[in-house]
Amino acid sequence: MIISSHKIMLPSQHRTIRFRIPTVDDASDVCGLVRNCPPLEFNPPYAYLLLCSHFADTSVVCDSDDRLGGFTGAYRLPRRPDTLFVWQIAVSGDLRGSGIGQLMLSSILAREALRDVRYLEATVTPSNSASRRLFTSFAERRGCPIVLSAGFRADDFPGGNHEAEQLFRIGPL
Ligand SMILES: CC(C)(COP(=O)(O)OP(=O)(O)OC[C@H]1O[C@@H](n2cnc3c(N)ncnc32)[C@H](O)[C@@H]1OP(=O)(O)O)[C@@H](O)C(=O)NCCC(=O)NCCS
């Protein structure tokens, strides 16, 4: 189901991007997109099946020219359901920097069923400048406070070879 459609400006052309609620049929393409979006961590395909089914109402995919251009996997925190936690966000390399990341976040929050969501949270590594800018700019554009605090420590991660993640909390929206 298409929920909205936007024209975006790329260096050489305009493209129409369609935002949809994901379905199980999207999971395979989502896996392909995430694999091609370092430094995003690729998780087992089953995780993407869950995001595209159980968490579809709080996630989004977008298409450009009939191929998957972007994906955001998110869910409400079970103990604080007024908070949307953005687990992974990815935009195809050729479409970056044209506002799709921001539009995906807005398209989730604009849903009637998420009217009561007041905060957005995500954890971001200090080295991921695109992701840090995405969330900071999202807060600035909405005039919302943004609070940064310690998220998961490096040694919280099994295996021990992961950067620490800082928690971004945006809101009240
Ligand atoms: C992070 C990511 C989703 C951003 O998507 P995007 O569609 O390019 O983002 P937008 O075009 O909406 O840009 C949002 C802001 O970030 C800025 N930005 C985008 N890419 C940037 C980069 N590489 N470095 C610095 N800032 C950047 C934009 O200029 C914009 O800021 P502005 O509003 O002040 O102009 C995309 O870069 C990506 O898929 N990266 C790989 C996967 C990843 O790291 N995901 C995040 C971890 S979960």
CB atoms within 10 A of CB 78: 7
Give the binding-site residues of ligand 1, using a 6 Å CB cut-off.
Answer: 37, 39-40, 88-91, 96-102, 128-131, 133-134, 137
83 pLDDT higher than 90: yes
Mean pLDDT of all residues in the chain?
A: 94
Q: Write down the pLDDT at residue 10.
A: 72
Provide the pLDDT confidence category of residue 160 given band limits of 50, 70 and 90: confident
* Alpha helix positions (H), 19-65: 27-35, 45-51
- What is d(CA 3, CA 38) in angstroms, rounded to the nearest whole number? 28
Ligand 1 atom nearest the C-alpha of 125 is 47
Dump pLDDT digits (tens) for 112-154.
999 999 999 999 999 999 999 999 999 999 999 999 999 999 9
